[in-house]
Amino acid sequence: MGIFKKLGWYFKQEYRRYLLGVTFLILVAIVQIVPPKVIGTLVDLMDTKQLTATKLVMWLIILLAAAILQYVFRYGWRTRIWGGAAKLERTLRSRLFWHFMKMDTTFFQKHRTGDLMAHATNDLTAIQQVAGAGILTFADSIITGGTTIIAMVIFVDWRLTLMALIPMPLLAVVSRRLGAHLHTAFGQSQAAFSRLNDKTQESVSGIKVLKTFGQEAADIDDFNVIVTKTVKINKRVNLIDGLFDPSISLIIGLTYIVTIIYGGTLVMNHSISIGQLISFISYIAALVWPMFAIGRLFNVLERGNASYDRVEELLQETSTIIETPDALQIPATGDINYAIQKFTYPGDQQPTLANVSFTLQQGKTLGIVGKVGSGKTTLIKLLLREYDQYQGKIEINRHDIRDYSLDALLDSIGYVPQDNFLFSTDVRDNIRFADFERDQAAVEAAATSSAVHDDILRFAQGYETVVGERGVSLSGGQKQRIAIARAIMTDPEILILDDSLSAVDAKTEEAILMNLKTLRANQTTIITANRLSSVMHADEIIVMDNGQIAERGTHEALLAADGWYAKMWWKQQLNQALGGV
Amino acid sequence: MAKQYQSEWTKKVPLKEQLYIMKRLFGYTKRYKRQFIGAIVAAAGLATINILLPRLLQVFMDRYLTNQSATTQILLGVAVLYGLGVMLKAVTQFFQSFLFGMGSERAMEDVRRDLFQKLHQLGMRYFDQTPAGSIVSRITNDTMTLVDYWNVFLSLLVGSFSIISAFIAMWLIAPKIALATLTFLPVLLIVIWYYSSYSARVYRRMREKLSQLNTKLNESIEGITIIQQFRQEKRLTDEFEQVNADYLKTREAMIRTNSLLLAPIVNLLYTLALVVVLSLFGISALHSFVTAGLVYAFTTYVGNFFNPMTNMMDSLSSLQDGMVAGRRIFRILDQEEYAPAQNPDATNEITKGRVEFKHVSFSYDGEHEILHDVSFVVEPGQTVALVGHTGSGKSSIINVMMRFYEFYEGQILIDGHDIRSFPMTELRRKMGLVLQDAFMFYGDIASNIRLFNEQITDAQIRSAAEFVQADGFIEQLPGQYHARVIEGGAQFSSGQRQLISFARTLVTNPKILVLDEATANIDTETESMIQTGLARLRQGRTSIAIAHRLSTIRDAELILVLEQGQIVERGNHESLVAQKGRYYEMYQLQNGAE
C-alpha cells in the first residue's frame, strides 16, 4: 500500500479525474445490483402468478435504464482511470528524459543504454499499472464487493450470504499465489528468450567463422538444444497460466454447492423465495472478479513499488558537473593551457593522465597521437568537461574552464567524436543539428568543406535521405564526414577531431584538412589520430604514452628525433603501400 | 522535422496474401495435431458442461424447490452432481488452455528451428545485404508474435462453441425465445467487425507512436555526448515531449475505443438481451405458467452467449500482427540467396594441397567485375602472398576460394580437381581460414578453440595453443582453458584474440591455410608473438595470405601484386625487387619501417 502514498503527489494533482472515476465506479456497482434483482423479482411474480402487464413493463423499464446507465458509467470510469494511468506514465517518462539530458558521462557509464531503456519502459509500465489496474482493483474490490454483499444481505438473506462467502477469500489467495508463481516463471521465460536472442545474434555475427569451420550443423544443434530448453521453461508458464481458470471454477463451484444445500434448505422452509435464490446466484457471479482482483492487487502494487523505487533512485542521482553560480558568460576563446597533474577515471586505480602540460595558442592546430589507451581522448574529454575532478587545471584565455558556464564553454567548441554518432533523421538535420534555422546553402557549404557533399547528392533522396538504424546505412567514412560537417556548421572557435578521419581514405583526408586550414585560418583546431597523416600538418604534435607526453614537436622534428612517432610513421607508410589501413 | 518512418506493422496485408500466410502458418500446427485436437475437444466439453450445469439447477428448482419436495438427500445429491460437474469443468478448462498453449509453443519453436536452419543455408551475399539485427528479430520476436496469432483462433473457437452451445440449449428449453435472442447475433457480428477494423487502426497508430518514442529515447541516450556538447538538451526534450504527448493521445484514443466498443458494449448488449428475453417470458407468463428454473437457465444461457465476445474482440487485434510477422518469416524461408553448392556427386579428397586458379573472374553483383582473369598456382607447402590496395581484389580471392561466394568464370583446382568436386565438409576440414577480426563466441577458451567440434580433445586444444604460443596468456587467466569468454571476447586484446583464432585453425590441422592478416595496431610484444604463431601455422601447409607483414611476404614463394582485380606483378621477393616495379616502390618504404 506504500506505493499509493508514494504516488500521492500524482493522485493529488489528478484528484478530480480520480474522484470522478471512483464516483463512476460506485455508480456502476450500484446499478449492477439491478439486473439480478429484476430477474429474481420477475421470477417470483411469475411463480406466484401475480405478474401484471404494468408490473412487467415497470420492471423492464428499470432493467433497460440499468443497461444504459451501466454503459455510460463504465465508459466514464474506464476513460478516467485508464487515462490517468497513461498520463502518469507520460509524466514520469518526461521526467526521466529530462533527467537523462542533464546527467554526466559518469552516469551513462554506470548505466548502460539497455538498462536505462528498461527503466523508462518496463518500470514505467509497472508504475502506471498501480495508477490504473491498482486503483481500479482497490476501488472495485471494496465498492463492487461491498455493494454486492450488501445487496445479498438486504435482498436475500444474511445467513446465506455468510455461508456462501466462506470459500471466497480462497480466490484472493489463489490469485496471489498463482500470480507470484507466474511472475517468476515468466521471468525465467524471459531469460530463456534472452539466451535464444543472444545465441541467434552471435551466430549471425559470427556466420563467417562458422562457415569457415563448417560448423553449421553443430551450430544448428546447439540452437536446437536451447530451443528445447526454452520449450521446457515455457511449459511451466503454460502450466501455471492454465491453472487460473480451473481454480476459479473450483472455488466458485464450492460457493454454488453451499448455495444449493443451504439456499435450497432456506427455500424449503420458506425463509427465501425461489426468485431470491436466483438473484443470489447472479450476485455470486458478480463477486468473482472483485475477490480475484484483490489477490492480483498485491502483485500489481508490489511490482509497482519496486519499479517506483528504481526510477526514484535513478532520478536522485546528480551530475558531478556543476556550474558555479557566478559562471563566466563570455565565449571561451583564446589560448588553451593544459596543466594537469593527475586525472583518474572514477572507479579506476591507475591514473589515466599524469603531468600533462602544454599551451595551444589561439589559431594554431594541435595534433595528439599515441597508442590506444595512452590518454588522447581523455585529454579531449576533460576539455569538454565530461569530468571535472582532476588535479591541475585547464585554462582558456587564462580562465579555468570550470569557471565558464557550460553554454559559454561548449558553444565555443565544435566536437567530432570517435564513434561519429548520427541521429535517425535526414542528412540535412543531422548537419544542422545545432541550429535548425540554418538554410540549405549553409548546410551545403559545411558538407562541401568536409568533402561529403558529392556523396550526399548521390543518395536517392539527397539531403533528405534518412540515416541511422532505420534509414540508409552509410559507410564509416561518410558518417565521419557528416559528423565533421555538423561540427563545422557552428563555426566553432575550437574544433576537435577525435580520431574522426580514420575511415576516410588518404586523398579525402588531405582534402578535408586543406579545407579546414583555409576555412579556419584564425581558429584553433585539435586533432587526435591513430593515423599520423591526419596530424602531420599540425603546428605542434604531442605523442602520448601511458598518460604522459612522450614526444612533442612538429612532424619534421619528430621524424628527425627517430622515436615512436618516426617508427610509427614509416610503418604506416609501408602498410598503406601494402594495401593496409 | 524529419520524415516519419512508417513501419511494416502499420501497413495492411492484402487479403489474398493473408490467406496464403494463414495456410502456411497452419502448416506448422499439423505436427501438433494431438495437442490442438485435444484442446478443441476440451473446449467442446467445456461448452457442454456450461449448458449442463444450469440445466441441473433448472431441474432442481422446478422439480424439487418450487413444489417443496426437496429432501436433504435430494439437496445433497444435487450438490454432489454439481460438484462433479464443476470438477469436470475445471479439468476441461485446464486442458483446453494448456494443450493449446503447448501446441502453439511447440509449433512456434519449429518455426524458429526452420528459420535458424535456413540461415545456415544462405550465402554470404544474403548476410551482406541484411542487417544482423533484423535477422535476429525475425527469428526471435516475430516468431513470438505467432503464439498470439494462433491464440486468436482458440478464442474464436471457444467463442463459437460457447455461442452455438448456448443457442442449442436455449432452443431446447424455449425455441421461440431462443430465436428472438438470435436476432442479437447480427448485432454482435457487426460490433465485432466494426471494433476489429476500427481498433486495429487505432492500435497500429499507437504502436507506431510507441516505437517512435522508444527510438527517440534510445537514440537520445546513445547520442547524449553529442546532444550535450552541442547544447541541444532543450530542443531534444521539446521534441521528445511532442512524441510523448502524441503517444499519450493515441493511447487515450485506444482507451476510448475500448471503453466504447469493448467490454461495456458487450455488457450493454447482454442486458438488452435480458430485457427482450424477460419481456417475452413475462408476456407468456401473463396467460400461462412459466417456471422459475426455466427463466434461470435461460438467462444464464444468454450470459454464455455474450460472455466470450470481449475475449474474441480483444484477441482479433493480434491477427494483423501475426500476418506481418508471418510475411517477414516466410521472406527468409523463401530466400534463395543460397550458399554456393558443390557437385551432388562430389567425393574427392584433398591429399596434397595444390591450389590453382585458372582464369577466374568474379563479381559480387553481376555488374562490377572485382576479379579479372586471375591465374596462379601454389604448390603443396608453398606460400602465396597477396599484396595490393583496399579494393584491389585480395579479399575476393579468399572469398571465392572459401566458397563464400559463387564464381562463374574460370576454374579453381585443388590437387588438379575442380573445387566443386569436393564435398563441402572436406573443403571445410582441409582448408583453414584465419580471419582478420577474430570473432569470439560466448563460452570458454576451450570451446572457442574447439568450436563445437566434440572430437577435439582437451590435449589437442592445449597443444594447439602451445604451438601458436597462446598458452602463455591463457594459463594466466582464472580458470585457464575454462576461463569464460563474454560477448565478442571483449576482455581480450585483439592480439590475444588473434592467437586464439590461430589455435582454433591449427587444431583442425588443415592442409591449406587461408590467411587474412590483421592490420590493427598491436603492441610490439604481441606482434612478435603473432609473427611466430603465423610462421608456425604455415609450416608444411599450403598458404594463401593477404599479407600486411613484410616477414610473411618475404617468406612467400610467390607474391602476387593486385590492382583493380588483376595480377599486375608476380614473382618472389628477389625477382620483384629486381623488376623495380610497384612492389619495389612498396619495398622501398621498408627502410624506414624496419
Distance of CA B395 to the CA centre of its chain: 30
CATH assignment at residue B408: 3.40.50.300
| CB pair distance less than 8 Å for B75 and A253 | no
**Percent of residues, chain A, with pLDDT higher than 70:** 98
Same domain, B359 and B325: no
A568's CB contacts (< 8 A; 6+ apart) are A369, A532
> pLDDT value at position B131?
73
User: Could you tell me the CA-to-CA distances from B578 to A463, B57, B384 in Å, in that order?
Assistant: 52, 108, 19
Render B315-331 in DSSP notation, one character per residue: HHHHHHHHHHHHHHHHH
Least confident residue range of A42-46, A440-444, A569-573: A569-573
- Please report, in angstroms and rounded to a whole number, the separation of the first and last CA atoms in chain B: 55
A309-358, pLDDT tens digit by residue?
Answer: 999 999 999 988 888 888 888 888 889 999 999 999 887 788 889 999 99
Is there a contact between A379 and A401 (Cβ–Cβ < 8 Å)? no
Q: Which residues of A touch B255 (CB under 8 A)?
A: 78-79, 82-83, 86
CB within 8 Å: A86 and B585: no
- Which residues lie across from A365 on neighbouring strands? A525
Cβ contacts (< 8 Å) between A204 and chain B: which residues?
119, 127, 132, 135-136
Interface test with A, best of B8, B392, B441, B576 (most A CBs within 10 A): B441
Euclidean distance between CA atoms B577 and A107, whole angstroms: 57
Judge if B402 and B297 occupy the same domain.
no
Tell me what pLDDT residue A569 has: 85
A8-14 contacts at long range (C-beta below 8 A, 24 or more positions apart): A10/A88, A10/A91, A10/A131, A11/A131, A14/A84, A14/A87, A14/A88
Nearest chain A Cα distance for residue B60, angstroms? 9
Return d(Cα B223, Cα A433) in angstroms, integer.
Answer: 12
Whether residue A179 contacts residue A302, with contact meaning beta carbons closer than 8 Å, is answered with no
Q: B175-182 and B292-306 are packed helices; what angle lies between their axes, rounded to 10 degrees? A: 30
Cβ distance A39 to B299 less than 8 Å, yes or no, reads yes
Mean pLDDT (whole number) for A404-419 = 88
**B429 and B574 both lie in a single domain:** yes
Neighbours of A233 (CB within 10 A): 17
For residues B396 and A71, give the distance between their C-alpha atoms in angstroms, rounded to a whole number: 70
In the predicted model, is pLDDT for residue A533 greater than 90? no
**Distance between CA A427 and CA A443 in Å, rounded?**
10
* A 490-519 near B (Cβ less than 8 A): 490
**C-alpha distance from B212 to closest chain A C-alpha (Å):** 11
* E-state strands within A10-117: none
Q: Which CATH number does the domain housing residue B69 bear?
A: 1.20.1560.10
Answer whether A245 sits within 8 Å of B94, measured CB to CB: yes
d(CA B553, CA A362): 47
C-beta of residue A127 within 8 angstroms of C-beta of residue A6? no
Task: Measure the CA–CA gap between B402 and B151, rounded to whole angstroms.
Answer: 45
Residue pair B542/B511 in contact by the 8 Å Cβ criterion: yes
Closest-CA residue of chain B to A470: B5
Contact indicator for A562, A543 with CB cutoff of 8 Å? no
In a domain, B87, yes or no: yes
Domain shared by B301 and B411, yes or no: no
Q: Using an 8 Å Cβ cutoff, are B499 and B507 in contact?
A: no
Q: What are phi and psi of B347, to 5 degrees?
A: -135, 0
**Are B204 and B283 in the same domain?**
yes
State the pairing for strand pair A391-396/A494-498. unpaired
Is the ipTM, as predicted for this complex, more than 0.90?
no
C-alpha cell read off for B541: 601447409
pLDDT at residue A373 is higher than 50: yes
A249 to B112: CB separation less than 8 angstroms, yes or no: no
Give the pLDDT mean for A57-61: 94
Q: List CB contacts of B463: < 8 A, sequence separation 6 or more.
A: none
* Residue A412: half-sphere exposure toward Cβ, Cα within 13 Å: 26
A75 and B260: CB-CB below 8 Å?
yes
Residues B378 and B232 in one domain: no
Of A45, A205, A243, which has the smallest distance from its Cβ to B439's Cβ? A205
- Mutation for testing the B interface, residue in A25, A87, A574, A581 having most B CBs under 10 Å: A574
Instruction: Say if residue B325 is in the same domain as residue B364.
Output: no
Same domain membership, residue B135 and residue B263? yes
User: How many CB pairs below 8 Å do chains A and B form together?
Assistant: 397
Q: Which residues of chain B have pLDDT under 50?
A: 1-6, 592-594
Cell numbers 523505487 label which residue?
A309
Residue A305, min C-alpha distance to chain B (Å): 23
Of B89, B119, B521, the CB nearest to A530: B521
Q: What is the pLDDT of residues B13-43, one digit of tens each?
A: 778 888 898 899 889 989 999 999 999 999 9
Chain A, window 356-395: residues with a beta carbon less than 8 angstroms from a chain B beta carbon: 371-372, 384, 386
Contact B214, A117 (CB under 8 A): yes
Put simply, whether A251 touches B (Cβ < 8 Å) is no
Residue A154 one-letter amino acid: I
DSSP secondary structure string, B282-295? HHHHHHS---HHHH
Contact A414, A431 (CB under 8 A): no
Burial class (CB in 10 A: 0-12, 13-18, 19+), A401: buried
Residue with cell 552516469: A107
pLDDT at B488: 63
Rounded-to-10 torsion of CA A257, A260, A265, A271: 120
- Region of B410 please: left (phi>0), alpha (psi -120 to 50) or beta: left
Give pLDDT, residue B3: 35
State whether residue A395 is helix, strand or coil.
strand
| Entry field: residues in chain A | 581
Residue B304, C-alpha cell as written in the block:
454464455
For the record, the C-alpha cell of A291 comes out as 475477490
On whether both B510 and B585 belong to a single domain, the answer is yes
Is the backbone of residue B386 left (phi > 0), alpha (psi -120 to 50) or beta?
A: beta
Q: Is residue B572 part of a domain?
A: yes
Q: Which of A208, A415, A464 sits opposite B435 (nearest CB)?
A: A208
Q: Which of B265, B300, B333 is the last residue of a domain?
A: B333
Q: Which of B299, B333, B367 is the last residue of a domain?
A: B333
Residue B463 and residue B571 in one domain: yes
Q: Which member of B94, B227, B267 has the closest CB to residue A74? A: B267
Which letter, b or e, does each residue of A312-326 get, where b requires 16 or more Cβ atoms within 10 Å of its Cβ? eebeeeeeebebeee
CA nearest B289 in A: which residue? A46
User: Alpha-carbon distance A562 to A476, whole Å?
Assistant: 33
Q: Do A66 and B283 touch (CB under 8 A)?
A: no
Q: What is the DSSP string of A115-163?
A: HHHHIIIIIHHHHHHIIIIIHHHHHHHHHHHHHHHHHIIIII-HHHHHH
Taking the CA of residue A517 and the nearest CA in chain B, the distance in Å comes to 22
The reply to whether A39 touches chain B by the CB within 8 Å rule is yes
Q: Is A65 on the interface with B (CB under 8 A)?
A: no
CB atoms within 10 A of CB B449: 27
Answer whether residue B322 is part of any domain.
yes
Q: Is B16 exposed, middle or buried (0-12, 13-18, 19+ CB in 10 A)?
A: exposed
The last residue of a domain, from among B270, B299, B333? B333
Who among A78, A411, A570 is closest to B589 (CB)?
Answer: A570
Instruction: Please identify which residue in the block is written with the cell numbers 588438379.
Output: B416
Q: Which three cell numbers stand for residue B415?
A: 590437387
Q: Where are the alpha helices (DSSP H) in B420-559?
A: 424-430, 445-450, 458-467, 471-474, 494-506, 524-538, 550-555
In chain A, residues 170-199 whose CB comes closer than 8 Å to chain B: 193, 196-199
For residue B287 the three cell numbers come to: 396467460
B374 within 8 A of B407, measured Cβ to Cβ:
no
Question: Which residue from B70, B228, B237 is facing A98, i.e. has the nearest CB?
Answer: B237
Average pLDDT over residues A484-510: 87
Is B439 in Cβ contact with A218 (below 8 Å)? Answer: no
**B219 CB-near residues (< 8 Å, 6+ apart):** A423, A424, A468
CA dihedral for B265, B267, B271, B277, sign (positive or negative): positive
Q: In angstroms, rounded to a whole number, what is the distance separating the alpha carbons of residues B156 and B128?
A: 42
The continuous run of DSSP H or E covering B201 comes out as helix B184-222
Q: 3-state class of B418 per DSSP?
A: strand
Instruction: Note whether A575 and B548 are within 8 A (CB).
Output: yes
Is residue B94 one of the residues assigned to a domain? yes
Whether residue A82 and residue B255 make contact (CB cut-off 8 A), yes or no, is yes
Compute φ and ψ for B559, nearest 5 degrees.
-115, 130
- The pLDDT of residue B390 is 67
CB atoms within 10 A of CB B113: 17
B257 assigned to some structural domain: yes
Judge whether B4 lies within some domain. Answer: no
User: Do residues B328 and B398 share a domain?
Assistant: no
Please name the amino acid found at residue B351: T
Based on the structure, what is the number of domains in chain B? Answer: 2
Backbone φ and ψ for B374, nearest 5 degrees, come out as -95, 125
Which residues on A lie below 8 Å from B237 (Cβ)? 97-98, 101
Identify all chain A residues contacting B217, using CB atoms and an 8 Å cutoff.
Answer: 93, 97, 117, 120
Chain A nearest-CA residue for B79: A257
* Other CB atoms within 10 Å distance of the CB of residue B52: 16
CB contact under 8 A, B132 and A204: yes
Residue type, A257: I
Q: Which chain B residues are closer than 8 Å to A28 by Cβ?
A: none
* Structural domain range at position B308: 15-333
* Grid cell for residue A267: 427455500
Which of A10-24, A248-262, A464-478 is predicted with the least confidence, judged by mean pLDDT? Answer: A464-478
Give the pLDDT of residue A67. Answer: 94
A521 has a pLDDT exceeding 90: no
Contact assignment for B101 to A260 by CB distance below 8 Å: no
**Distance from C-alpha of B50 to C-alpha of B163, rounded to nearest angstrom:** 11
Distance, CA of A237 to CA of B305 (rounded, Å): 30
Of B109, B119, B255, nearest to A83 by CB-CB distance is B255
Interior angle at CA B490, CA B486 and CA B495, nearest 5:
125
Residue B345 domain-assigned?
Answer: no
For residue B342, is it within any domain?
A: no
Query: In the predicted model, what is the mean pLDDT of chain A?
Result: 88
Using CA atoms, how far apart are residues A290 and B141, in angstroms rounded to an integer?
Answer: 35
Contacts of A78 (CB under 8 A, 6+ apart): B255, B258, B259, B264
Residues B367, B309 share a domain: no
Please determine, for residue A471, whether its predicted confidence score (pLDDT) is greater than 60: no
